[in-house]
Structure 1
Amino acid sequence: MCRWLAYSGSPIALADLLYKPEHSLIDQSRHARLGVETTNGDGCGVGWYPDTSGGTAPGAEAEPEPAIFHATGPAWSDRNLLELSRCVRSPLFLAHIRASTGTAVQQSNCHPFRYGRWLWMHNGAIHEFPALKRDLAIAVDPLLYPFVEGSTDSELMFYVALSLGLQDDAPLAVERMIGLIEDVGERRGVPDPLQMTVAVSDGSRLWAFRYSSEHNSRSLFFSTDVRTLRALHPEIPVLQEVADGTRIVVSEPLGDLAGAWNQVPESSYGVVGNGHGALHSLTPRKP
């Protein structure tokens, strides 16, 4: 499987989360504690939305597309990722380290995936994906299918969700996507076909989903309200600097700071936007 993190809040350097924490994403690429594999070395990627807090240049888009960086080597030895993460600041970014479940190690299979302003990344798998792949590919809107570049179940899930209305109602589209995958699995004789934690963003909001058909999903955590953390840990300067609405969602905690992390409940999703966050239940919707 994989490890990932998603950040929404005050603009920070990507390295502040990718490299600096005690159990950073880079550390997790070699020493994951809660993943199926200890090592996640089959590629890495980061997608980020530009910091527009200082305004945009004349003629520039007010809401530009996110930028992405993908590499096929392990994150711990990628010098370009290190240099980029030191220099890029962003108020909203997604980062991913990959452990392949069978598809090729190539840039087009690295997360996060992008379509327009949307970013998507996934940890988990569609079980017996080759047996279900054709039915799921047919469910992709013909106008969207040419944008599918790689061979992963994760990217195909993204385009199925887009075809089912992701850009209009992200939670509803993901519930429909889950229902479709489980329906196809049932018809093809594949029990418990889906295992997923997913992060998706449109640049202003961030959604994080935790679900599996067997109701035993991979780990997912969200950070405690910054105001609470300030009270618990007045000795940590960075907590005084970030906005109250800052949130981090991670496959596994970035350290052992007491009171900092909360598990996302089974079959649920969280949404962060405009400085506010909320948790909701997640219910598959079969076609």
Structure 2
Amino acid sequence: MFDVIVVGAGGTMGSSALHHLAKSGVKELQQASGQVSDGAETTGAELVCGAAVTGWRVDDQGTVHVHTSKGEYEGRKLILAPGAWLPKLVPELQSLLSVERQVVGWFEVLNGSADFDADRFPMFVMDDRDGCYYGFPKDARGFKFGKIHHLGEIVDPDRVARHTTSLDEATLRRAVHKYFPGASGPLNHAAVCLYTNTPDEHFLVDQHPNHPQVILCSACSGQGFKFASVMGEVLKDLAASGATRHDIAFMRLDRKRPGHAQVLDSFQESAQGLQPSSRL
């Protein structure tokens, strides 16, 4: 049996949690398991890669069972940090977490200009009446640029269109041409990713209301990456003791937060056996 199972350890929050679990010496670094990607092997965890998580449950003894396409795993604690798949693994959260298709593009800098080089051009976020945009200095692919919430497309993460369209490009190009004409050359590359949004755009990090040994993490709304190091420590703390030295009160499930009352009611109904829970 594993001490801690991390689902989503290939993502920023899960991999950070795995790192902090390893630093804490969980069972000589051998009892943290996850569905992870490159680099996580350095933590010493046992890794299960390329496995689809199909569900999970907690038995009458409090043991967590995680069902995957490669078998079942048992653990004392479970950290659920699967990004856009969290509302599928915890159906009570489906009304709270919306998954949104996001596109970022790399545009050719014209005339070999050095104006967009890293030593002259900053990372930025800017607002105008058409939305909120962000960008990065030029890299090997060009000037990286995106629009927060892009086209506002709410999607199923298992069925999202991973190809980009002329509308995707036009949405970004309008702002690039307006504000950064020196980088309005051809679109060299584009990529589709996913935002998981909460109504108030704050994170959701808490123990499962019905199963305190299960930690829920949606560190999301397009702003999670820069907080990954501290959030990994928070997840490790919650798995270890249910508490953390960091102030996460505003991230927890709370009836005062938008949309949370309905979710907490759903958890109560699940505890009473009125609706299915804890599985896909």
TM-score norm. by structure 1 comes to 0.28
Q: Using structure 2 for the length normalisation, give the TM-score.
A: 0.28
Higher Cα radius of gyration: 2
